[in-house]
Amino acid sequence: MPKYFVKILIKDTFQKILVVRLSSLGDVILTTPIYRSLKKSDKDIIIHTVVLDAYKDVLKTNPYINSVWEYSKNSEVIKILNESLIHEEYDYVIDLQNNFRSRELLRNVSKNTYRFEKHSLKKLLLVHFKINLLKNFPHITERYAATFPEIKLDNEGPEIFIPSSVKPRIAENEVVIGLCPGSKHFTKMWPIDNFVELGNMLIKKGVKVAIFGGSDDKNICKHLERNIKGSINLTTDNNILQLASDMKNCIAIICNDSGLMHTATAVKTNVLAIFGSTVREFGFYPYKSTHSVLENFSLSCRPCSHIGRKSCPKKHFKCMKEITPSQVYDKLQELI
């Protein structure tokens, strides 16, 4: 077995399914109800999955998954992994990524391959022409489930299984609100000064403030730590299980439309999410959880992207700037 892969085979049986969702963090977390539902439908099903190596921690402790394959963008690794997957002789393959990379990876793996319907045209119509054909569409997890007819979702949300070796840095009896200021794209980030103002409002009310982020968020998280006196900075180098463990002991998480939003949802923490350039219709709001989503509905330019942009195309960034710390604070009171 090539050293690039993590593969722990627990048992073998007559039916073997491969589920593929390579990235990103939020998407991978939102596939977890799929594994649970498949295993509940038949405890003897063997479930394998392929995920980008950066997100393997989300799935490696999941008891419903028998084997995790790590994906790398290295062409030689892809070739070897493809050959290994062919050798497994899967009964069914469920491709929830459905792009060039996943199709290349899954070449000749199984004749019984089901691919996720991405509705790319509908997303383009909403972004560029504001023609909304996604208005009544279900959550993305339910769209994933519709890919394979045997998946019958339960009424539970996503989940991350935290091993006992990962200790939370927040005590269970503390009253802590978590702030997650980061996102991959600028137009999905509430202004950092607003996070600072909100954090200081919470501190004055006697609430402890914890700051969460990954390696790309270290600078803005450090800015929050310096300017919210009394806050604690729990940023990690993308240690997802540690972040999840810490979030679990918060009474609420305030965040952007980001992977950490879904991380908080997966540990059953209340979530208040602030949406800027994206909208709920794309299907990536918190799933099966106690949550609120704040959006600026006064703008005709939203959404300007289905994934986020480097800058506001209108140069005003009103979708985020017009959502005030006071509005977020008031919505938080309603939530908790």
Write the pLDDT tens digit of every residue in 195-206. Answer: 999 999 999 999
Predicted pLDDT at 6: 42
Residue with tokens 């990536």, as numbered in its chain: 284
Pick the CATH number of 16-145 from 3.20.20.70, 3.30.530.20, 3.40.50.2000, 2.60.40.1930: 3.40.50.2000
Predicted pLDDT at 7: 46
Question: pTM of the prediction?
Answer: 0.93
Please, are residues 29 and 266 in contact by the beta-carbon 8 Å criterion?
yes
Q: For residues 93 and 114, give the distance between their C-alpha atoms in angstroms, rounded to a whole number.
A: 6
| Residues forming beta bridges with residue 180, ordered by sequence position | 255
Q: For residues 161 and 60, give the distance between their C-alpha atoms in angstroms, rounded to a whole number.
A: 9
Predicted pLDDT at 164: 96
Amino acid at the residue 64: Y
pLDDT score of 3 more than 50: no
Please, are residues 270 and 175 in contact by the beta-carbon 8 Å criterion?
no
What is the per-residue pLDDT across 137-147, written as a single tens digit (0 to 9) for each?
999 999 999 99
pLDDT score of 24 more than 50: yes
Domain with CATH 3.40.50.2000 in the chain: 16-145, 176-335
Of 10-24, 114-128, 278-292, the one with minimum mean pLDDT is 10-24
| Integer CA distances (angstroms), 2 to 5, 48, 81, 98, in order | 6, 17, 9, 25
What is the per-residue pLDDT across 209-268, written as a single tens digit (0 to 9) for each?
999 999 999 999 999 999 999 999 999 999 999 999 999 999 999 999 999 999 999 999
Q: What is the mean pLDDT of residues 87-107?
A: 97
Radius of gyration of the chain (CA): 20
pLDDT band at 11 (very low <50, low <70, confident <90, very high): very low
Amino acid at the residue 63: P
Q: For residues 202 and 205, give the distance between their C-alpha atoms in angstroms, rounded to a whole number.
A: 5
Predicted pLDDT at 173: 86
CB atoms within 10 A of CB 262: 30
**Fold category of 176-335 in CATH:** Rossmann fold (3.40.50)
What is the per-residue pLDDT across 52-90, written as a single tens digit (0 to 9) for each?
999 999 999 999 999 999 999 999 999 999 999 999 999
Length of the chain in terms of residues written: 336
How would you label 104-120 residue by residue, b for 16+ Cβ within 10 Å and e otherwise?
Answer: ebbeebbeebbbbeebe
Q: Whole-number mean pLDDT of the chain?
A: 94
